[in-house]
């Protein structure tokens, strides 16, 4: 293979997945002064930005402003976006191997983890990922239906997604109508009769995974009181010793302070309440043909090799509820032709270099970054550093000349292939036209945008402008 990464022979990289890690990987590659590169960023949706569009809660618009950073990457020379192209369906990994020197998988963790309890599959019991996708107008979830006609919803899990879904259920119409929440979700949430949202953490306040601003916000809702039982914030000895020690991280310490302050509050008569309960696990979801109640077990904490784990005490209670949202983390979905670590739900990799198998070496030219590389953790910015590690390895392999040797590295080849297959791909300019149309739909209502929900609507908004 002749020297690549030169102006005459740029390194051609396909990135699969246009979420934060895909954009950060593109940025790190394109800004490298020593390497001439071209990046094609693929996404199965016509819309870029992954969870920034489809995951971040609609009432958190500031978090979404990170999109400006990704737009700068998209404006760089050598960058192209191929939206509405599903790898494994419209184009195979084998095709990418014929067209690019390197492939970076940044597909995130697209599905939910299971609880493994009886009744989990009853109608009315949903993965929080589905609820999040539904209120964020993700095309995969637009047909989902959530029964919001009961009095109580139970959210299982103590992460930031649990905070988001609890808050979304408690927003007032007024708060909701200022956001870019999907119209179908606004309509249903307006009619919701849910008055109590119970959030169950299987461990204690000092083990919660949520962060300070997210839990604090629950105490500042326009029309919802936050309720914490004072007994729940009395820590066990080990947790108390931890938060008093130098090892304790600030987030944990402040979380406990916030929760203790919540425990002292008296309900102020707001219409809704969010009850945060700790050391509680769901044991069974019961109901005739749909979720009607949830059996909850009380836990105690036990030290297992330095980690405090939840152990069932055998004590039970049953709460009526028609809606259960399971928010216990995400996991990855394997991609045909890409080695996968089933146990961890991730692409098998070392520092972002995809491995052939647990004991074999690097799969030449294959890389990964973001959640599908390290697991569903951290905030959006965490992916910047994560992508840098991967790209540093990729650039080292450019220098070593140990990348793929594609048969058709010319930039037109991928367009020709997609054209032959009748794939209507969406360029970045096309996306900008969709974006403009959505923003235009929001303006008369004082909303940041009114999102299109179905792929056909998005493509329809392009009219003549569709490329491919
Ligand atoms: P997460 O932070 O990993 O939290 C998962 C929660 O589920 C933990 O409290 C965990 O408890 C609990 N859990 C796991 N298995 C369980 C089981 N079988 N029964 C009961 N509880 C169980 O996951 P996430 O909330 O999905 O968030 C994913 C990532 O996105 C996180 O890094 C999060 O910070 C980030 N995020 C950030 C924001 C924001 O910045 N505003 C918003 C949303 C998401 P244990 O600790 O006991 O395992």
Which 3 state secondary structure label does DSSP give 225?
strand
pLDDT at 215 over 70: yes
C-alpha dihedral (328, 161, 224, 276), degrees to nearest 10: 30
367 compared with 2, residue with greater pLDDT: 367
The two structure tokens encoding residue 36: 């001439």
* DSSP 8-state code for residue 113: P
2 pLDDT band, cuts 50/70/90, is confident
pLDDT at 465 over 60: no
Picking from 15, 17, 21, the residue whose alpha carbon sits closest to that of residue 381 is: 21
Identify the pLDDT of residue 147: 95
pLDDT (average), residues 208-212: 98
pLDDT tens, residue by residue, 135-153: 999 999 999 999 999 999 9
pLDDT at 172 over 80: yes
Identify the pLDDT of residue 457: 96
Mutate to test the pocket of ligand 1, among 51, 157, 332 (most ligand atoms within 8 A of CB): 157
CB pairs under 8 A, 24+ apart, for 239-248? 239/204, 239/205, 239/206, 239/207, 239/301, 239/308, 240/206, 242/206, 243/206
pLDDT tens, residue by residue, 362-421: 999 999 999 999 999 999 999 999 999 999 999 999 999 999 999 999 999 999 999 999
CA distances to 152, 237, 247, 251, 280 from 241, rounded to whole Å, are 35, 6, 10, 16, 22
pLDDT tens, residue by residue, 119-139: 999 999 999 999 999 999 999
Mutate to test the pocket of ligand 1, among 60, 113, 156, 161 (most ligand atoms within 8 A of CB): 161
Which 3 state secondary structure label does DSSP give 320?
strand
pLDDT tens, residue by residue, 330-353: 999 999 999 999 999 999 999 999
Average pLDDT, the chain: 96
Mutate to test the pocket of ligand 1, among 112, 209, 283, 295 (most ligand atoms within 8 A of CB): 209
Residue count of the chain, please give it: 468
For residue 159, the CA-to-ligand 1 centroid distance in Å is: 3
Atom of ligand 1 nearest to the CA of 213: 41
pLDDT tens, residue by residue, 260-302: 999 999 989 999 999 999 999 999 999 999 999 999 999 999 9
- pTM value > 0.75: yes
466 pLDDT band, cuts 50/70/90, is low
pLDDT at 467 over 70: no
Which residue do the tokens 């969010």 mark? 274
pLDDT (average), residues 170-179: 96
Order of strands across the sheet that contains 79-82 = 79-82, 37-42, 11-16, 102-105, 362-368, 353-355, 349-350
Atom of ligand 1 nearest to the CA of 207: 46
pLDDT (average), residues 304-310: 93
Q: List, as one string, the DSSP characters of 257-315.
A: HHHHHHHHPPP---SEEEEEE-SEEEEEEE-SSS--EEEEEEEEEEEETTEEEEEEEEE
- Where does ligand 1 bind, in terms of residues with CB under 6 Å? 115, 156-162, 164, 202-203, 207, 209, 214, 281, 327-330, 376-379
pLDDT at 80 over 60: yes
Identify the pLDDT of residue 468: 46
Identify the pLDDT of residue 1: 63
pLDDT tens, residue by residue, 223-261: 999 999 999 999 999 999 999 999 999 999 999 999 999
Identify the pLDDT of residue 248: 92
Residue nearest to ligand 1 atom 31, measured at CA: 377
Give the contacts of 288 (CB within 8 A, at least 6 positions apart): none
């Amino acid at each position: 293979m002749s020297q690549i990464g030169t102006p005459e022979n740029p390194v051609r990289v396909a990135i699969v997945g246009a979420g934060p890690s895909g954009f950060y990987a593109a940025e790190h590659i394109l800004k490298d002064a020593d390497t001439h590169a071209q990046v094609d960023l693929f996404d199965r949706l016509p819309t870029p930005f992954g969870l920034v569009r489809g995951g971040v809660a609609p009432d958190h618009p500031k978090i979404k402003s990170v999109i400006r950073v990704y737009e700068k990457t998209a404006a760089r020379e050598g960058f192209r976006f191929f939206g509405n192209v599903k790898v494994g369906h419209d184009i195979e990994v084998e095709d990418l191997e014929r067209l690019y020197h390197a492939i970076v998988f940044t597909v995130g963790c697209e599905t939910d983890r299971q609880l493994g309890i009886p009744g989990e599959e009853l109608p009315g019991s949903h993965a929080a990922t589905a609820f999040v996708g539904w209120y964020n107008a993700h095309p995969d979830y637009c047909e989902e239906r959530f029964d919001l006609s009961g009095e109580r919803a139970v959210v299982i899990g103590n992460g930031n997604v649990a905070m988001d879904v609890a808050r979304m259920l408690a927003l007032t119409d007024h708060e909701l109508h200022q956001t870019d929440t999907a119209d179908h979700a606004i309509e249903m949430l307006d009619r919701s009769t849910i008055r109590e949202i119970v959030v169950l953490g299987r461990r204690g306040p000092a083990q919660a995974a949520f962060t300070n601003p997210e839990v604090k916000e629950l105490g500042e809702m326009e029309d919802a009181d936050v309720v914490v039982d004072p007994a729940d914030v009395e820590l066990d000895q080990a947790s108390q010793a931890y938060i008093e020690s130098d090892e304790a991280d600030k987030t944990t310490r402040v979380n406990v302070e916030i929760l203790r302050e919540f425990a002292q509050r008296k309900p102020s008569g707001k219409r809704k309440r969010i009850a945060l309960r700790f050391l509680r696990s769901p044991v069974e979801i019961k109901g005739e043909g749909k979720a009607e109640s949830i059996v909850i077990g009380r836990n105690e904490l036990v030290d297992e090799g330095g980690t405090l784990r939840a152990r069932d005490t055998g004590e039970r209670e049953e709460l009526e509820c028609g809606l259960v949202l399971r928010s216990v983390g995400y996991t990855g979905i394997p991609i045909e032709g890409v080695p996968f670590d089933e146990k961890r739900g991730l692409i098998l990799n070392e520092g972002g270099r995809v491995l052939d198998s647990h004991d074999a070496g690097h799969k030449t030219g294959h890389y990964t970054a973001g959640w599908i590389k390290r697991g569903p953790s951290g905030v959006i910015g965490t992916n910047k550093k994560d992508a840098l590690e991967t790209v540093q390895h990729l650039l080292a392999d450019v220098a070593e000349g140990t990348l793929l040797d594609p048969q058709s590295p010319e930039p037109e080849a991928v367009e020709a292939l997609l054209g032959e297959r009748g794939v209507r791909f969406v360029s970045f300019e096309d996306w900008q036209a969709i974006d403009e149309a959505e923003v235009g739909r929001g303006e008369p209502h004082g909303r940041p945008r009114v999102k299109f929900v179905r792929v056909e609507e998005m493509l329809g908004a392009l009219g003549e402008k569709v490329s491919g």
